[in-house]
Chains A and B, each alone.
Chain A
Amino acid sequence: MPTIDLGAVPLRELNAALHALPADTNETHWKVINPRGKHAIAVGLDVPVTVEVEGSVGYYCAGMNKKATVVINGSAGQGVAENMMSGRVHVKGDASSAAGATACGGLLVIDGNASARCGISLRGLDIVVKGNVGHMSGFMAQAGNIVVLGDAGEHLGDSIYEARLYVRGTVKSLGTDCIEKDLRPEHVKDLRRILDAAGLPDVSPTEFRRYGSARRLYNFHIDSIGSY
């Protein structure tokens, strides 16, 4: 297993080495040690390899990930897995703000809490946060799912489009145009799929409440002016 010591090797070399891997590489498991909060670790990957980071990372770890699995054995700074397209990112600690921002696909699992704006402008990724999420999570989220086992902060789902938000605990307040919606069988089924993928077979989907867009602001209407 290739091990890269970021205490000794420049970040640029790590990312370049990962980008140079052919799709059918035999070097499918990489270890990164001494990350020491460095930014942009394992970004722009495009091959089905696993990168395990031993420690905490700075901003944008696994940014724009495609196909790869990135495991962070520590906490993650701002924008972890931002704009991810596919693959899997697992943060064993907490995540700072904008986790999974604008991401299009794959799965992001955060074992701890996620800070403000988790899943902002989400475009199709599934996010599972085992702890709580901060304020404005799911802001303008367009597609995908945010599943929160703990509580959600203020203004959840503000200006949300078609993304789905599932919260097991309490929601401090809902944002503009975000409402609670029925948890219908298709949602239970989908939630089951996501929880299983996140390795949570014992968590029951029916314990969650679902939130989404009231779609009142999709087209401008003069009577909605106070909502903006």
Chain B
Amino acid sequence: MTSDERWIHTPPRHSATFDAHAIAEIHRAAATGIYDIRGFGAKRKVPHFDDLLFLGASISRYPLEGYREKCDTSVTLGTRFAKKPITLKIPVTIAGMSFGSLSAPAKEALGRGASLMGTSTTTGDGGMTEEERAASSLLVYQVLPSRYGMDPDQLRRADAIEIVIGQGAKPGGGGMLLGQKISERVAKMRTLPQGIDQRSACRHPDWTGPDDLEIKIIELREITDWEKPVYVKVGAARPYYDTALAVKSGADVVVLDGMQGGTAATQDVFIENVGLPILAAIRPAVQALQDLGMHRKVQLIVSGGVRNGADVAKCLALGADAVSIGTAALIALGDNHPHLAEEYKKLGTVPGAYDDWHEGRDPAGITTQDPELTKRLDPVAAGRRLANYLSVLTLECQTIARACGKSHVHNLEPEDLVALTVEAAAMAQVPLAGTNWIPGKSERGW
């Protein structure tokens, strides 16, 4: 070997384990001493609805005419105990997102868009704003561990009540709203000093466990004279047992949120490493309802990474009654839009990757309390965009349902589906495409 040859290297080779992101995170951690906090949902790839396909009609199944034959999309929620169940015209509802994490015009826009389509919106941590109540024909009021803004008058003004046990992005975690977003109005609504970094409780202050939850639900029903549907929202962790316990506790509706579900602010490590992908959670939840004879009597709403009408149809085919959207709704309002590329660049990011929703500097005026930025969002125009998007979700879902021969989107069923991967086949409990093999199917059926 000549002395020159000694210095010839193989080309630079990146480690699959220590990839660019892992290395950047180590540098960031070493520089700052604090974990990364961000918004959005899990960004890692997990088995998802893309891994499922519908079979469509064939000789043994006949389809419905696309534009002529009816394919109903309505969903009634709260038929178990509530004197006044609510009916959504479409099987898509807007998830709970707090005023505080979102600007007042963004909350109003969500209400406007949902109302145009005959569906509901949901409050969030920090209570109900007048804007969203006025803009939402159907508004679900969340009862969260923090109880920020919890007010019996607002409870009475709500159309349904949602007790939040957990969120898919952070099952077992509490809320977080950093100082930049604790404006005077937000602070007042939450009875907190302005500008503090709010870390809210992860457990409810006045109950623990399913036996207590049952009593809490009774209290809320008594306060509202048994009128309103009571939902229980859980992050996807132990969906079979959580669903069974929610039913046992007296819920009218179970809301199940998968790990890809959005958040306004959570530790990245939490978002990416805790909880189940929604694909893996729906069947066990449905199984619990079926085992208890409660499927379709207690309704199931699922969320976490729903993007298009095919996703909606797949959730329904797996047994859900409706889906809920957070991230997609914000995107429909204008979040991460390419026309903001210049502004995102100033924030060190690009359209499509912006996730610093906790910082309150959102150029789209959605995840901010900054008065100037907030003004950028026109609630009427943004509401219209959301309505358009919800309309497309519904039309797409109907397109698939009709192709499968269904006169109601609820008639979609697991038999209509196959999976492209072994993992998805196991999680969704549908056969691997072209086979009759459902991996891991036990005698219990799940």
User: Taking beta carbons and an 8 Å cutoff, which residues of A are in contact with B?
Assistant: 11-12, 15-16, 19, 39-40, 43-44, 46, 58-60, 63-64, 66, 78-79, 82-83, 85, 97-98, 101-102, 104, 117, 120-121, 123-124, 139-140, 142-143, 161-162, 218-220, 222, 225
Q: Are B179 and A219 in contact (CB-based, < 8 A)? A: yes
Q: Are B222 and A43 in contact (CB-based, < 8 A)? A: yes
User: Nearest residue in B to A99 (C-beta to C-beta)?
Assistant: B206
Q: Are A78 and B155 in contact (CB-based, < 8 A)? A: no
CB-CB < 8 A to B33: which residues of A? 222, 225
User: Nearest residue in A to B149 (C-beta to C-beta)?
Assistant: A123
Instruction: Tell me the dominant secondary structure on chain B's binding face.
Output: loop
Bitwise interface map of B from 126 to 162 toward A, beta carbon under 8 Å scored 1, else 0: 0000000000000000000011001111011000000
Bitwise interface map of B from 184 to 217 toward A, beta carbon under 8 Å scored 1, else 0: 0000001111011100010001110000100110
User: Nearest residue in B to A42 (C-beta to C-beta)?
Assistant: B222
Beyond the given A15-B225, A123-B191, please list 17 additional residue pairs across the A-B interface where CB-CB is below 8 A. A11-B222, A19-B225, A44-B155, A44-B156, A46-B152, A59-B212, A59-B219, A64-B223, A83-B147, A98-B206, A101-B147, A102-B147, A120-B205, A123-B147, A142-B191, A218-B197, A219-B195
Cβ-based interface call for B373 (8 A): no
* Contacts between chains A and B (CB distance < 8 A), count: 103
Question: When chains A and B are docked, how far (Å) is the Cα of A17 from the Cα of B196?
Answer: 43
- Whether A43 touches B191, Cβ cut-off 8 Å, given contacts A60-B215, A64-B155, A219-B196, is no
- Whether A218 touches B150, Cβ cut-off 8 Å, given contacts A40-B215, A78-B207, is no
B38-63 with Cβ < 8 A to chain A:
none
Q: List 15 A-B contacts (CB under 8 A).
A: A15-B222, A40-B222, A59-B212, A59-B215, A59-B219, A60-B219, A63-B219, A63-B223, A78-B206, A79-B206, A83-B147, A104-B151, A117-B205, A123-B147, A220-B34
Q: Are B205 and A161 in contact (CB-based, < 8 A)? A: no
Instruction: Report the interface size class on chain B.
Output: 20 to 34
User: Taking beta carbons and an 8 Å cutoff, which residues of B are in contact with A?
Assistant: 32-34, 146-147, 150-153, 155-156, 179, 190-193, 195-197, 201, 205-207, 212, 215-216, 218-219, 222-226
